[in-house]
Amino acid sequence: MLSHDTNANGPKAPGRRIRYELLTIGDELLLGLTVNGHLEFIGAQLGARGIELRRNVTVTDDAEDIAQQFRESWERTDVVIATGGLGPTCDDRTREAMASVLGQKLVFDPAIEQHIRDRFALFGRKMTSNNLKQAMRFEKGDVLQNANGTAPGLWVEQDGKVLCMLPGPPNELQPMFTEQVLPRLARLGLVLDREAYVQLRTAGVGESLLETRLQPIFDRHGSKLGIAFCAHSGHVDCRLSSPGGEISFAEVEAIAAECADLLREDFVCYGNDSLAKVCADLLRSQEKTLSVAETATGGLLANAFTGICGAAKFFSGGCVCYSNDSTMQLLDVPECLLMQHGAVSAEAAVAMATGAAEKLGADYGLAITGFAGPCGGSNENPVGTMHLALHAPQGVWSRKLSFPGPRATIKRRAVNSALDWLRRELVRAQTGAVSVSKQQGVMQ
């Protein structure tokens, strides 16, 4: 972890560990009306730059509560990051409460006022007078521009410490943090100017098995190598670092590359790219296109791809068919097939994948059909059963999977399984390897 002393003019010589605290402000967080995603996001961003967030405190909108907690955090902390309470309404009190603790005046900034007026004009709305509250800034501080909202962020360096205040909406906070806050912290030497670790993203292998497979590599480096695992839905991440600095970052990268080679197709990527993004990059590099068809997942598979910028270059489209009639009309699945085998079957999945590829003119077709529950299902296909199918230039295959859990979990796991299957087939196509599906004889 990064460590040094700071003063009002920036960092000093290396010394103690830098202490960061996060104050998330808002009654809606404590009432459970809004999920505290800021902790997850900011904690991850700081962790990637060598900083361990020491504490997160969620505070009400009450001005006295905000001031009391900020006073405590300011006394023991080098950097305080506060989120929320910078808006135009009467319950937005963060700016005033923290200014009182710091003994700073708030001054009106005409440039902020103009930004607010321009923002309202952009959407054809009239600005109300209470919005001018957001044009107040610290007399001895900087303004962080907000490209996606009206409330700017505020930045103060005082008493050898840093206060960073950000608006609550994630679509405003997150780009401000990555594009403005992190670079400022890096210039002050308060975070690393690069990631502190190398992350390997894997799929198709559990956390315990992943560690077992990589342990021979880890053993060669002993305690000098920092190792951390994090299991997510659909993938497991392994982070490698050198906490004590005994191993150079280049050596850590070389160790990560050795791990990736050992994992082969279970290795997805370095970093944080999603399975869909990895599939998209592979499709683009091979100049191939994809279409999807789905029932139980209700458009989640298509959404995974349309959330990627430039999806039109590789994604031909998708069909969500929730009835036999729509499956027949949109995908040309024969009625006799559905009557004989049912809509939840390997045969139906194969016909859906083939229909999606042919009707939409794509090289690959990916399909999901099944029972996500809690109702439905049968003795042959109980709740949690999912049939996946992949239509590729080399052939078409199906897989039957079973997932436990509530409806949302089953849908998410089905989508992740479909994405990982597509990823593996695209990797094999890229390297010229024989499809494992074909080797296993599951071609329909």
- Are 373 and 384 in contact by the 8 Å Cβ rule? The answer is yes
pLDDT, tens only, 232-241: 988 999 999 9
Quick check: 439 pLDDT over 50?
Answer: no
* pLDDT at residue 8, rounded to an integer: 35
Amino acid at 132: L
Dist. CA 1–CA 14, nearest whole Å: 12
Quick check: 340 pLDDT over 80?
Answer: yes
Residue 206 makes CB contacts below 8 A (sequence gap 6+) with 231, 236
Dist. CA 170–CA 196, nearest whole Å: 24
**Is the model more confident about 4 or about 75?**
75
In this prediction, residues 422-429 reach a mean pLDDT of: 96
Dist. CA 227–CA 211, nearest whole Å: 10
In this prediction, residues 313-329 reach a mean pLDDT of: 96
The neighbour count for residue 102, using CB atoms within 10 Å, is 18
* Percentage with pLDDT > 90 across the chain: 89
Average pLDDT, rounded, for the chain: 93
**What are the start-end ranges of the E strands in 139-276?**
142-144, 153-158, 161-166, 198-202, 226-232, 235-241, 267-270
* Percentage with pLDDT > 70 across the chain: 94
pLDDT, tens only, 354-409: 999 999 999 999 999 999 999 888 888 899 999 999 999 999 999 999 999 999 99
* pLDDT at residue 4, rounded to an integer: 45
Residue 288 makes CB contacts below 8 A (sequence gap 6+) with 314, 363, 364, 426
Residue 186 makes CB contacts below 8 A (sequence gap 6+) with 49, 192, 193
Confidence of residue 442 (pLDDT cuts 50, 70, 90): very low
In this prediction, residues 245-269 reach a mean pLDDT of: 97
Which helix (H) or strand (E) segment holds residue 95: the answer is helix 94-102
Can you tell me whether residue 318 is helix, strand or coil? Answer: strand
The neighbour count for residue 94, using CB atoms within 10 Å, is 27
In this prediction, residues 54-73 reach a mean pLDDT of: 97
pLDDT, tens only, 92-133: 999 999 999 999 999 999 999 999 999 999 999 999 999 999
* pLDDT at residue 434, rounded to an integer: 62
Dist. CA 41–CA 54, nearest whole Å: 15
* pLDDT at residue 12, rounded to an integer: 36
Residue 174 makes CB contacts below 8 A (sequence gap 6+) with 41
Quote the Cα angle for 29-30-36, to 5°. Answer: 35
- Are 275 and 294 in contact by the 8 Å Cβ rule? The answer is no
Find the Cα–Cα–Cα–Cα dihedral 306, 170, 78, 94, rounded to 10°: 170
pLDDT, tens only, 160-205: 999 999 999 999 999 999 999 999 999 999 999 999 999 999 999 9
* pLDDT at residue 14, rounded to an integer: 37
Quick check: 440 pLDDT over 70?
Answer: no
Region label for 377, one of left (φ > 0), alpha (ψ between -120 and 50) or beta (otherwise): left
Quick check: 303 pLDDT over 60?
Answer: yes
Domains of the chain: 6-187 (3.40.980.10), 198-270 (3.30.70.2860), 277-439 (3.90.950.20)
Dist. CA 247–CA 206, nearest whole Å: 27
CA dihedral sign, ordered 300, 385, 382, 323: positive
Nearest Cα neighbor of 158 from 141, 144, 145, 143 is 141
CA 396 to chain centre: 32
> How many residues are given for the chain?
444
Residue 269 makes CB contacts below 8 A (sequence gap 6+) with 201, 278
Amino acid at 348: A
* pLDDT at residue 444, rounded to an integer: 39
* pLDDT at residue 432, rounded to an integer: 83
Confidence of residue 244 (pLDDT cuts 50, 70, 90): confident
* pLDDT at residue 436, rounded to an integer: 53
**What are the start-end ranges of the E strands in 167-225?**
198-202
Residue 81 makes CB contacts below 8 A (sequence gap 6+) with 20, 21, 22, 23, 42, 164, 165, 166, 181
Quick check: 1 pLDDT over 50?
Answer: no
* pLDDT at residue 16, rounded to an integer: 59
Confidence of residue 9 (pLDDT cuts 50, 70, 90): very low
Confidence of residue 431 (pLDDT cuts 50, 70, 90): confident
In this prediction, residues 65-82 reach a mean pLDDT of: 98
